[in-house]
Structure 1
């Protein structure tokens, strides 16, 4: 009996198909779950960021508002500070003015004593012997300015043009020069030099300026702005004036206007002037030297007044030796 051929085994069974179906189902279910949840997460994240941005924007506006307020307050403080600084500047100026007035009063006290001494010397010039010879009715022909005789035919101004003089005393210098010219109604010649020996009018270098009302007005006009270099020492100007213009028999007076002497030695200056301003047979010098002191240096601290004191010392002795008078003003204004 022949054997029955057996059937070949099936490639797929039901259980395998079930597994495959279940797998696909699981994948579909996962996809459905993922698509449902993901948009919710993104939407929630977007909402949170927009909220934070709105909050930050609000904070920025708040900060800007506070900044404007602070800037306004700062500007107000700056204005208050400027007002206070202006008040401080005014108070400092008032204090400086008060100090200047106080210093002027101090200088005036000392200067008045010096002037009193000069007037006393001038008063003693007319001795009892002169009264006996000239008689009680005699009147001196010479005019005086602060005890200074003004009988000269030629006058030379030697003026300190330094910064201290030009800045503080120049208006007074103009007045004193004009006053000196006024007491000489007419002279044969005038010359203007600074303390360095420089001429105001270069066209008249080494020769006299003819006297006339127009020339006198020109002198005052040019003197008003005459601000050239000076070493605050009148020595060079005095020596240049004597060497250039001194002539025997001519009545010449030098007027020295200054406020300080910065040279090294007073004695050397006196000796140098003695050598060139020679004495004639009658005991008279070639030129007469007068001086006017402006107390500019005395507005400074006492330890800085040395050059002003040295000027007064030099001029007092120089004028005494050379037939003149030293006048110390009590104010430089």
Structure 2
């Protein structure tokens, strides 16, 4: 009786070695990927090198798979051929294909984790704000935000604001917290490529972002953003609001603003007369004095409520319309104070 040919296992042993080798590469990646993905440039380079190694492994495995397919095709198709060898090689081919798929998924995970985050740190992007902020004309490349930080921003009427100041509880005043939350919401909606300068507007104007020499920051630069938000959190509301001085500060910036947003609650209240009393007519006059300056950018306003200032909304609406901006009067539940 004719003896059957013995199974040639050299191909299988070779493929076992290949799979073991690439399995070792994959295991090495799994054990070290988390440690490699850090903020340091050196470790980022190591992560990139690991990805390139994995890509090379995938290419080599694919080449071996093609060689295996050719080997299967070249087997003797006659009845006396070893059918078991063909089945085993086919199974090995399927296992190799799964190994390639696993390595590709690992590479995709590595590249995904290595990419820097596009969202600013410690800043939630509220989806509910779209109905309010989509109409703002915050034109690139440089937007300026003026946050009124006068005493009136502590309450919706003068008596309540004075009482809060006397109690020393201004930091937790709901209206003031909403005003700060509005700044955060606007920052979260700023598109990429737009630099932002944030100023606190009281009797004097101070930069909350960047430096006095260059107050513009990239809101997607986490370090600059967190520094600005820290100053915002520590900001106290007191005194009056000198709109003319604030606009003068903006217009004197070395890099001119291309759009402006005022977050406030009414007409300016500084400089005040010597007796400290300001009628609404006086505040309208202060507003008109501030409007004597030239505007080459859209003037937008988010106006929070304040009793005893009925002409404020109309005057800001008129200003926004004349400059191509918009005035928003938000609902009482927007934005949610943090």
Normalised-by-shorter TM-score class: 0.3 to 0.5
- The TM-score normalised by the length of structure 2 is 0.44
Structure label with greater radius of gyration: 1
Q: TM-score with structure 1 length normalisation?
A: 0.45
Choose between structure 1 and 2: higher helix proportion: 1
